[in-house]
Amino acid sequence: MKLIDTLNEALGVPTSIIDTANEIYDRFDLNNINYKLLYNIGDSISINNSYPKVIKGDFKIGDEIYTRVMYSFLVSPHPNTDEVVLGSIAVESNIEVVGVGKVQNNQDETIKILFSFLCPGDDGTPNISDKAIKEGIKKFFMMNKEKLISNLTHELKHVYDGTKKRSENITDLSKYVVHKNFIGWNVTPISDFCYSLYFMSVTETLVRPSELASLIQTKNITKKDFLTFLKDSDTYKELSKIKNMTYDDFYNDLFNYINEIKGYYRGNEYKVNNKSDKEIVDMFLTDIRKLLQNEMIGYIYRNIIGNKTNDTLSLFSDINQIIFLNKVSEKIMKYKNNKDFYSNEINYNAKKADFVIRKLAKLYAITK
């Protein structure tokens, strides 16, 4: 094994992952684009019913070889964009419950990638032509090669981690999924809080070194330029922001969004009538805390029960599952006041962000 490969593996960057990301990028068929139009942002969709294309080959990541790449383009009309832009990239996985409190990722030899784009439009209807959407996707790929290869490397690391770490704690997974779903609220401090929890999850922190290593390689970053490169990266900026988060800043910032918070109670205005701003903010934090806690418990419950919902007797046939559900519910609901709940998460993430920054700094070793 080459010295650079040894360094990469030690730093959490599987051998060949960046080369594989480059190969996949180069083999996308951008002259014959098909896409699936989504009528609502956030629609759940599988790659199998979204006009996938297939690339065959031997795609090496570490000591694993994947023989197919399936990829699809999804397009959602959005009133706040005046051009075709990438919203997100995700890899599709197959998760199933395999035991008490455990889920399994059944990753096979196929890598499934979903590209979600936004285009000008509203109410599910684009206001640009089919040809313009396809040209917009192609243009985006051509103009953002370095960033897209970095994003692909990020997603390929998720695939690799899913292959290597077959089982996962369902409590950790519920936290990851629920907080990801609550990103993008118009109450920015809450959206940032949920994003920080998603960003600092084990699932996401595992891929950060590979993501930056890709940019180091494609940009030919030298040792002289490394510190500037690191501090200018989006990953470092987000980690620094999380590292410096405090409960007091989070709490005080909410008062700048009092109108948006009142909007949360539209239809239930009696809850905010005659209340001070402080009372409204405190009530809102309580409601969001309970919502997040209940969503996590609900996610765990739905995945443990699976398809047994029509069989009342089988729901409670496994005493171990019931004991686990009770214990995990108690753990999730242990925080009974807002400051303990939010400050605990913020402080934990701040320490973890500092650790990840130190880990990323070690990528200096692979620069030229």
The number of domains in the chain is: 2
Domain residues for the domain of 135 are 1-165
Dmax over Cα atoms in the chain, in whole Å? Answer: 70
**What would the pLDDT profile of 329-366 be if each residue is shown by its tens digit?**
888 888 889 999 999 999 999 999 999 999 999 999 88
| DSSP string for 99-131 | ETTEEEE---SEEEEEEEEEEEEETTEESS-HH
Same domain, 260 and 282: yes
- Contacts by residues 246-253 (CB-CB < 8 Å, ≥ 24 positions apart): 246/346, 246/350, 247/339, 247/342, 247/343, 247/346, 247/347, 250/189, 250/193, 250/342, 250/346, 251/281, 251/285, 251/342, 253/188, 253/189
Domain shared by 100 and 186, yes or no: no
State the CB neighbour count (10 A cutoff) for residue 254.
Answer: 21
Asked if residue 356 and residue 212 are part of one domain, the reply reads: yes
- Beta-strand relationship, 85-91 and 64-78: unpaired
Q: Which two tokens stand for residue 17?
A: 């992952």
Q: Give 87 or 251, the one with higher predicted confidence.
A: 251
In tens, the pLDDT along 24-55 reads 999 999 999 999 998 765 556 788 888 899 99
Same-domain check for residues 91 and 55 = yes
At 208 the three-state DSSP class reads helix
Q: Using H for helix, E for strand and C for coil, what is the string for 316-356?
A: CCCHHHHHHHHHHHHHHCCCCCHHHHHHHHHHHHHHHHHHH
Residues 246 and 285 in one domain: yes
Q: Within this chain, do residues 185 and 151 fall inside the same structural domain, yes or no?
A: no
pLDDT at 272: 92
Of 38-47, 85-94, 313-322, 348-357, the least confident: 313-322
Flag whether pLDDT at 325 surpasses 90.
no
User: Which amino acid, residue 3?
Assistant: L
Nearest to 366 by CA among 1, 36, 62, 3: 3
Helix (H) or strand (E) holding 160: helix 145-164
Phi, psi (degrees; rounded to nearest 5) at 36: -105, 120
Whether residues 30 and 17 share a domain: the answer is: yes
Query: Which of 104, 137, 165 is at the close of a domain?
Result: 165
Predicted pLDDT of residue 318: 66
Out of 132, 165, 198, a domain closes at: 165
Residue 104, token pair as written in the block: 């399994």
Residues 247 and 320 in one domain: yes
In order of 1, 30, 303, 329, 346, the CA distances from 294 in angstroms are 49, 43, 14, 9, 20
Element (H, E) at 61: strand 53-61
Tokens of 27: 């083999």
- 268 and 246 belong to one structural domain: yes
Alpha helices in 208-337 (DSSP H): 208-218, 226-232, 234-243, 247-253, 258-264, 277-305, 312-315, 319-332
Q: Are 196 and 134 in the same domain?
A: no
Q: Helices in 1-129 by DSSP H: which ranges?
A: 3-10, 17-26
pLDDT score at 305: 63
pLDDT of residue 149 exceeding 60: yes
Task: For residue 251, give the nearest of 195, 208, 199, 189 by alpha carbon.
Answer: 189
User: Same domain for 347 and 207?
Assistant: yes
Give the CA distances from residue 87 to residues 233, 240, 247, 360, in Å, rounded to whole numbers and listed in that order: 19, 23, 30, 25
For residues 110-133, average pLDDT: 92
Residue type present at position 266: R
Residue 332 near residue 295, CB atoms below 8 Å = no
Task: Give residue 27's pLDDT.
Answer: 97
Helix (H) or strand (E) holding 173: helix 170-181
Q: Within this chain, do residues 161 and 172 fall inside the same structural domain, yes or no?
A: no
Q: How far is CA 138 from its chain centroid?
A: 24
- Predicted TM-score (pTM) of this structure: 0.81
